Chains A and B, each alone.
Chain A
């Protein structure tokens, strides 16, 4: 599959579980992002990775832990979540080149339900 892929597409987990969301981009980009999209607060930026380095943590609770092993892969590790964490989690990637902000390419999202 080309573009930005996310797995799993749907996830149901209990509050004591540990799970991970995976994102992979096949576009040769050097920046990756995690967003949370819910009915109450659409499209909240969570984390930004530029050249595998985390450059933004938007006051996200520590129960969300990102990992970027290389510029093509991004993970979001989840543990002891709360029901209010139920949302659509979107991954995106973009190219950072010569100080210019290029468009972001989004994945299809993982629909997370915390029970």
Chain B
């Protein structure tokens, strides 16, 4: 079965501390993985995808196929990083794709 697991509902860290939001996936094929973010009163938007290997707003995520993980990391958290973060897996359908989202982790960065 295709599944995305985010074990932490809430993660609270101090400003300047490192942060890691965990994501594990279950999929037999080659995964297409994403992190989406939803800031307060804003719509859900893409943060990064594994295939681009970019660092966005200081965040990085490495795909580990052996551990079936795609954890999101940032070395020094900022208050503006407080938001809801969703890990997502896109799997192919006939003629397209569907995306399976994890339950989300709320990150709270304290001053």
Taking Cβ atoms with an 8 Å cutoff, the residues of A that contact B are 31, 33, 35, 42-43, 45, 48, 50-51, 53, 55-56, 90, 92, 94, 96, 99, 101, 103-109
Q: Other CB < 8 Å A-B pairs besides A101-B99, A103-B49, 11 of them?
A: A42-B86, A42-B103, A43-B101, A43-B103, A50-B95, A55-B98, A56-B98, A96-B96, A99-B92, A106-B43, A106-B45
B28 at the interface (CB under 8 A from A): no
Q: Which of B96, B99, B100, B101 has the most CB of A within 10 A?
A: B96
A51, B95: Cβ atoms under 8 Å? yes
Asked, given contacts A42-B101, A42-B103, whether A103 binds B46 with beta carbons under 8 Å apart, the answer is: yes
Hey, which chain A residues are within 8 Å of B49, CB to CB? 103
Residue total for B at the interface (Cβ-Cβ under 8 A) = 22
Asked, given contacts A50-B96, A51-B95, A55-B93, whether A107 binds B43 with beta carbons under 8 Å apart, the answer is: yes
Q: CB < 8 Å: which of A42, A55, A90 contacts B95?
A: A55
Bound CA–CA A33/B1 (angstroms): 21
